[in-house]
Structure 1
Amino acid sequence: PSNPTGMISSLEDLQMVADFAVAHDIFVISDEIYEKLIYDEGKKHISIASLGKEIYDRTIVINGVSKSYAMTGWRIGFAAAPLEVAKLMASLQSHMASNPNSIAQEATLAALEGPQDCVAEMCKEFKKRRDYIYEREEAIPMISALKPEGAFYLFVDVSGTYGKSYEGTEIHSAADFAAILIAEKYVAVVPCADFGMPDYIRLSYATDMEQIKKGMDRIEEMVKALA
């Protein structure tokens, strides 16, 4: 699953990338930190490194415990790469940042090697939130979204509000929409021009249902007040 859309790359798309990388002898950096947060039947995480030895030897996998294990504050990430690449990464990293503390390392070990029931429970809860926030968004006029398959983001197209105004302030971009939303309704969203999609905002549902309901109520109020 990807950020910001929550969509999952198909086997066909991954194979296309793998074939291109092998043909041109380039590396693929595969961020797989949302691999355990998948909601729908039949959908699954596939690592591009699993598609054959040639792409395996050209893949750098990035992962961590901040998403699947809700351990953001522990600041633990890790990578898997061909040995010669890993050694170069370690040489560079050692001059840029200190090592993670031993307590965080032990906590990560416990998360990875311990019972995984909590991950399944959290995934089930995220699915409830995903379904709720998507249904609420789809009921609001002038905006639309992709239904995410994983991660915990909703990618919302707000271009239908362009040319409308809220209490005299006109909307010309997703950034305008987000600025009005936080100033007038105290709801923070991410305008997605930096993701290459300037007509979209990103909502996160990595919070409790009460906050999601409150946020969606306020978004609906704002949109329905546009003139």
Structure 2
Amino acid sequence: MSASTPQPDQSIRPADRRVSARIGAIAESATLAVDAKAKALKAAGRPVIGFGAGEPDFPTPDYIVEAAVEACRDPKNHRYTPAGGLPELKEAIAAKTLRDSGYRVDASQVLVTNGGKQAIYEAFAAILDPGDEVIVPAPYWTTYPESIQLAGGVPVEVVADETTGYKVSVEQLEAARTENTKVVLFVSPSNPTGAVYTEAEAEAIGRWALEHGLWVLTDEIYEHLVYGDATFTSLPALLPELADKCVVVNGVAKTYAMTGWRVGWVIGPKDVIKAATNLQSHATSNVSNVAQRAALAAVAGDLDAVAEMREAFDRRRRTIVRMLNEIEGVVCPEPEGAFYAYPSVKALLGKEIRGQRPQTSAELAALILDEAEVAVVPGEAFGTPGYLRLSYALGDADLIEGVSRLQKLLGEARD
């Protein structure tokens, strides 16, 4: 058992423990909690503008919705299907992966999951034993460390800040490596920072992993959301020799505005996929057939819808960065991917704002919600206090109004 795993209180009878130590140690998703609070306040009549949720504000494209409607009417979708996914969807995911990233895989290397979160957990569960260490670049998405620990692993954080564009170096990764290191997590484009590694940077990390015989788990969910001169790089496509120890996580949520449909997937070596499929066969069985049919229409179709969304996100990206950097004490690097801004607010901490002196970014986020009716996620949720995450996947008018409220409130900061 790893040192980070909570130990049960031996003075209490097992029958008297109400929640297991393992599950009791799991923290609530901070991003979902902020989004839920914002929605509750709006329902109560307050004009809250939410920058918390990481989901496109666009509807799922019509042709995907129609595929789901047709699937509802077909009796074959009213029954159990293979736990690992519809064979035709797995084939389509393999074809899509070759089309979009140049990585050739077989359908037997694909597991269809209930969203990206299940994909991440099952991937870690399939390759980690208790005490295995996973190097996790921070800022990180809130779910990564929780999934690692739930699978028995130990997350080892490597922190990057705004001075490097939130990208870690090989030297930092090497300093964190121990004899217990098994996996390095690689996420580009990144949630929460929007950082995108160049091909050269990605190759250097991949070659370092190869040199030390490490596994790589790479989350490619934001592959189509890159801006300006930035480009997406798929590690196993760039370094085919890495494929035998590489697991790719992806899904339809961000590309096709399908967050609520809950369809993701894992791609990896056949033995790992078989093990993860066995786990899923007992945990959830097959993903909803209707959602799978919708995902089939999505991945087999073109990318016109995401091109339109990307254009809107790019416009909002430039607006939010400009407006945030106009606030004294806020430093916001320009994100090159995803749909998040991750400004540093360290210079504002301890200053007086409307009679309060927030000492942490969590306290500052609470003040912002109360005084400006704007919901943001504090950096504590992503392993780096002193920052805020703002999703710019919301309408242009709301974005401008929300950041204008921030400008007014934070502009009042005094020593």
User: For 2:287, which of 100, 121, 128 is the aligned residue?
Assistant: 100
User: For 2:331, which of 140, 144, 153 is the aligned residue?
Assistant: 144
Q: Please give the per-residue CA displacement for 1:130-152, whole angstroms capped at 9, x wherever unaligned.
A: 01111111111110111000100
Distance in 2 between residues matched to 1:120 and 1:221, nearest whole Å: 34
Q: Which has the higher contact order (CA 8 A, sep 6+)?
A: 2
3-state SS of the aligned residue for 1:147?
A: coil
Map of 1:112 onto structure 2: 299
Matched, 1:66 2:253: yes
Over 3 Å counting, the alpha-carbon distance change for 1:33 and 1:164 in structure 2 is same
Q: Please give the per-residue CA displacement for 1:151-199, whole angstroms capped at 9, x wherever unaligned.
A: 0000010011122112221021111110100111111111112322211
Matched, 1:13 2:201: yes
* More divergent stretch after superposition (69-78 vs 89-98): 89-98
Distance in 1 between residues matched to 2:404 and 2:411, nearest whole Å: 11
User: For 1:159, which of 339, 346, 351 is the aligned residue?
Assistant: 346
Matched, 1:194 2:381: yes
Check conservation: 2:330, 2:345, Cα contact below 8 A. yes
Structure 1 residue 98: Cα displacement: 3.6
Q: Which ranges in structure 1 are unaligned for 5 or more consecutive residues?
A: none
Distance in 2 between residues matched to 1:113 and 1:53, nearest whole Å: 24
Distance in 1 between residues matched to 2:284 and 2:201, nearest whole Å: 35
Map of 1:214 onto structure 2: 401
Aligned partner letter, 1:224: G
Correspondence list, 1:83-98, <5 A: 83-98=270-285
Aligned partner letter, 1:2: S
Question: Segments of 4+ in structure 1 off by > 3 A?
Answer: none
Correspondence list, 1:44-59, <5 A: 44-59=231-246
Aligned partner letter, 2:323: R
Distance in 1 between residues matched to 2:397 and 2:371, nearest whole Å: 20
* More divergent stretch after superposition (11-20 vs 129-138): 11-20
3-state SS of the aligned residue for 1:62?
A: strand
Map of 1:77 onto structure 2: 264
Distance in 1 between residues matched to 2:389 and 2:212, nearest whole Å: 34
Q: Please give the per-residue CA displacement for 1:94-124, whole angstroms capped at 9, x wherever unaligned.
A: 2222422111111111111123211111100
Check conservation: 2:249, 2:264, Cα contact below 8 A. yes
Distance in 2 between residues matched to 1:182 and 1:56, nearest whole Å: 45
3-state SS of the aligned residue for 2:224?
A: coil
* More divergent stretch after superposition (43-52 vs 18-27): 18-27
Map of 1:32 onto structure 2: 220
Distance in 1 between residues matched to 2:401 and 2:278, nearest whole Å: 47
Distance in 1 between residues matched to 2:392 and 2:381, nearest whole Å: 20
* More divergent stretch after superposition (177-186 vs 16-25): 16-25
Distance in 1 between residues matched to 2:412 and 2:230, nearest whole Å: 38
User: For 1:43, which of 230, 233, 236 is the aligned residue?
Assistant: 230
3-state SS of the aligned residue for 2:343?
A: strand
Distance in 2 between residues matched to 1:98 and 1:189, nearest whole Å: 35
Aligned partner letter, 1:55: L
Map of 2:14 onto structure 1: none
Distance in 2 between residues matched to 1:204 and 1:53, nearest whole Å: 34
Q: Which ranges in structure 2 are unaligned for 5 or more consecutive residues?
A: 1-188
Aligned partner letter, 2:366: A
Distance in 2 between residues matched to 1:115 and 1:14, nearest whole Å: 27
3-state SS of the aligned residue for 1:144?
A: coil
Bigger-Rg structure (1/2)? 2
Correspondence list, 1:171-186, <5 A: 171-186=358-373
3-state SS of the aligned residue for 1:145?
A: coil
